[in-house]
Copies of this chain bind each other. A is one copy, B any other.
Amino acid sequence: MIDRLTPAIEARGVGAMVVGSASRGTWVRGDRDLDLFLLFPPELDRDSLERDGLSIARAIAIEFGDGYREKYAEHPYINATVDGIDVDLVPCYCVESATGIQSAVDRTPFHTRYVADRIAGLVDDVLLLKQFAKAGGVYGSDQMTEGFAGYLCELLVLRYGSFEGVLEGASGWRPGTAIDLEGHAAKRFEEPLAVVDPVDPNRNVSASVSLSRMMAFVELARGYLAAPSTAFFELRLEPPIPADAFAAGLAARGTALYALRFPTPNLIEDVVVPQLRKSLEGLTQLLGRHGFTVNRADCEMGPDHCLLVFELLVDTLPAVARHQGPPVWNGENAAKFREKYAAPPGGGPFAGPFIEDGRYVVEVPRRYRTAAALLGSEEILGVSLGKNVRRALGKRELLIGVGCWSAEFAPFLGAFLDPASPLVRLERT
């Protein structure tokens, strides 16, 4: 099929290049089907690139496929289905060296050439590594996974020489590990794992790998080397937890579960998930500030709804709360505070102002005595949420205890009640 598309593109006066895993035989299920880049001269201005590029891509999609969908990542591109295969047609600049890169898509042809020139004889190792990472739940550089991209897997195989070599290397990783194939790193990277891009010394290919995903990979590598088995390559879906098991689990834990459910914004995962994470963090802090200690919290983006779940150690608090005032030596503010809060004698159960460590403290009625009152209030819109999540929260429901369960989120809630590292989970099965 590439045999037909490539000449058709070149006939329109631009270069064509297959990039990504399909171009070098390292494709695994879950990778993008086929990326076909349209290469334009770098002298062309950006507007013309987008106009001409999309125009040619549309024409190709119509000629060979079933129509097209216009999409947008960092730059616009055309998506089509040709012979049952999902094809992205991406216009980019064909720059001569990596230093001429104008945007992220221009870098991709360099990645393709770098890997293609060196991967001979190692394709099976890359396939094994990608499947290993996928089964372990750490494959993919998307925001939800925070794991290992395909290109990163290829570079690791090049660095360590084989699949087992990668695992042996990884079993010694710790935060701050740096891998620099070309020995040309332009700076120190802050991320827990640094794999310097061979075609761009300023870029960390593993920038999106979180410390927890990195350590999940380390754990899996050690586990495999200690006891190799095909189980490490088998995809396992998280089983949904039945409603009654969910209720029994909650009761045995003795904790208080609260969830916010709202419609999923109509945007890609890489836009929504960071906002969910930010909201989760902000609301966890809000709960903590009001005295409701969060044991664990997590978020999930489903096709229809998003869910933010908070497991609390405590969901009811006493009437009395502390309010800290100014230091007594700050005369003007101290006097204002004292006058504002100095209650008449016998003025209820709330004491003060009194002096603690040189500052005024006063007791006030607690604003939210229950977590339900706090999570049901408009207060939650005051934390940093991200604009799309904030908008979606307009249609939120507050779920409590067993009410948090729904078929839609049953796999997620099962994993939430019973989290385990990849190796622990694998050893249990």
Q: How far is the CB of A171 from chain B (nearest CB, A)?
A: 7
In the bound complex, residues from chain B placing their C-beta under 8 Å from that of A317 are 254, 313-314
In the bound complex, residues from chain B placing their C-beta under 8 Å from that of A218 are 328-329
In the bound complex, residues from chain B placing their C-beta under 8 Å from that of A329 are 173-175, 215, 218
**Given contacts A212-B357, A215-B358, A253 and B342 within 8 Å (CB-CB):** no
Q: Interface centre among A175, A344, A358, A423, by most B CB within 10 Å?
A: A358
Task: Judge whether A219 is part of the interface by a CB distance below 8 angstroms.
Answer: yes
CA gap between A219 and B355 in the complex, in Å: 10
In the bound complex, residues from chain B placing their C-beta under 8 Å from that of A192 are 358
In the bound complex, residues from chain B placing their C-beta under 8 Å from that of A429 are 345
In the bound complex, residues from chain B placing their C-beta under 8 Å from that of A358 are 175, 192, 211-212, 214-215
Is there contact, CB below 8 Å, between B255 and A320?
yes
Choose, from A7-15, A32-40, A384-392, A414-422, the stretch at the interface: A414-422
- Chain copies in complex: 2
Is there contact, CB below 8 Å, between A319 and B254?
yes
In the bound complex, residues from chain B placing their C-beta under 8 Å from that of A359 are 215
Is there contact, CB below 8 Å, between A424 and B354?
yes
In the bound complex, residues from chain B placing their C-beta under 8 Å from that of A211 are 357-358
CA gap between A327 and B218 in the complex, in Å: 11
Choose, from A43-51, A52-60, A330-338, A374-382, the stretch at the interface: A330-338
Contacting residue for A420 out of B171, B314, B331, B351, CB 8 A: B351
In the bound complex, residues from chain B placing their C-beta under 8 Å from that of A252 are 319, 348-349
Instruction: Give residues of chain A (139-181) contacting chain B, Cβ–Cβ below 8 Å.
Output: 171-175
Proximity bits, A316-328, B CB within 8 Å = 1, else 0: 0111101000011
Proximity bits, A395-429, B CB within 8 Å = 1, else 0: 00000000000000000000001111101100111
Is there contact, CB below 8 Å, between B222 and A421?
no
Task: Judge whether A293 is part of the interface by a CB distance below 8 angstroms.
Answer: yes
Q: Interface of A with B (CB < 8 Å)?
A: 171-175, 192, 211-212, 214-216, 218-219, 222, 249, 252-256, 291, 293, 295, 313-314, 317-320, 322, 327-329, 331, 334-335, 338, 342, 344-345, 348-349, 351-360, 369, 417-421, 423-424, 427-429
Is there contact, CB below 8 Å, between B253 and A352?
no
In the bound complex, residues from chain B placing their C-beta under 8 Å from that of A351 are 417-420
CA gap between A178 and B335 in the complex, in Å: 24
Contacting residue for A318 out of B313, B360, B369, B421, CB 8 A: B313
Is there contact, CB below 8 Å, between B212 and A320?
no
Is there contact, CB below 8 Å, between B219 and A334?
yes
CA gap between A344 and B425 in the complex, in Å: 10
In the bound complex, residues from chain B placing their C-beta under 8 Å from that of A172 are 331
In the bound complex, residues from chain B placing their C-beta under 8 Å from that of A256 are 318
